[in-house]
Structure 1
């Protein structure tokens, strides 16, 4: 199995692309889903956020107020860095657990939806290919405003907090243009799926995995025989 990274900017349509992959029976591991999971009350990241940012970013029932926290960090680089330090390790642990499960299921490849892939630099060494979803700047801003019911100023702060789309596109193996309608995007994803399914990278990964398991097995046998005497 190999891993394909999916990223882009806020409001560009990563979730839509993920849903198209899922409809084609390709597992998608979503960082945003894991992000919500790791900040559930009582979890390690939840406790660290409460300690670092205080009660103002929580509701009375203990649930994280994501909007309040977002307003806080998108206007402060240092606070955003601190939040990432708290949450990212926990998010990536959950994602790797999910990836391991899909590996055991025998999938050729999976997609990891990683909004901050290039910003964080984490996970890049695990990815076989990277897909970036892009659109026109005015479309992106409009979608962010509509989706989050935000003011233009708040929406711009969220867009500005991420790496420019042009830079992400320049780093990607594949770029999907989501400036037109859904059918146009679906055609691009369908073509990309054909390309990815034609790859033999999963055999290389399976050989590497089997070789690693055999090495560990022989090491255990050797140590057992050594200490048995």
Structure 2
């Protein structure tokens, strides 16, 4: 079974992903893939540098992710240009890894951890969608604390994604990560019981 795992920035999706993996779910992480395809020497990195300029590269040749994030989050047209370069390669590698997990174990639950799953229109590729949720004020506070952002910067990043309430409404399953770690673990266990009973 292939499921899509998503949420908003700073909702705790990585925590839920680790809990799922510890319980035997095969994880395909879009963020890891996105980093790998942008390593020095990769053709996508050269394409990004050609489009945006060499100032978005670090001295050692990698992408300056922080600078790029600042550049695109309040510029939708620039974000779309970056996505047009990198998303096709990321999607292809997600599909390859999911297929490989399913071929190795047809009974496995494979979770594709994709932050922008809905924004990218990928929900139809998965049998069920799990959204990791916290209310927007909690999301905003966590994001400012985690990344050292001002309220304006944090709002800009949240506004660059589909609103978390919309994601929650569209989900097949919701993990509410606003409570204690123990409450989150219980919800993950219940989710897996439900998925494995299908």
- CA deviations 1:88-147 (Å, max 9, x no partner) are 1111111122112211221422001111011110x3222000011111222111111122
Aligned-partner Cα distance in 2 for 1:41–1:93? 20
- CA deviations 1:6-41 (Å, max 9, x no partner) are 111100011011000011011111111111011011
Higher deviation after alignment, 77-86 or 90-99: 90-99
Residue in 2 aligned with 1:80? 79
SS of the aligned residue for 2:35 comes to: helix
Matches within 5 A, 1:196-207: 196-199=195-198
Could you tell me how far 1:54 is from its partner in structure 2? 0.4
Flag the structure with larger Rg.
1
Are positions 1:116 and 2:79 aligned together? no
Aligned-partner Cα distance in 2 for 1:61–1:165? 36
TM-score by length of 1: 0.83
Instruction: Give the count of matched residue pairs.
Output: 197
SS of the aligned residue for 2:118 comes to: helix
Residue in 1 aligned with 2:136? 137
Provide structure 2 residue ranges, at least 5 long, that are not aligned to the other structure.
none
Residue in 2 aligned with 1:163? 162
Matches within 5 A, 1:8-19: 8-19=7-18
CA RMSD of aligned residues (A): 1.1
Aligned-partner Cα distance in 2 for 1:56–1:149? 23
Tell me if the contact between 1:108 and 1:197 (Cα under 8 Å) persists in the aligned partners. Answer: no
Matches within 5 A, 1:12-27: 12-27=11-26
Select the structure that is richer in helix. Answer: 1
Provide structure 1 residue ranges, at least 5 long, that are not aligned to the other structure.
200-229
Could you tell me how far 1:43 is from its partner in structure 2? 1.4
Tell me if the contact between 2:38 and 2:44 (Cα under 8 Å) persists in the aligned partners. Answer: yes
Residue in 2 aligned with 1:30? 29
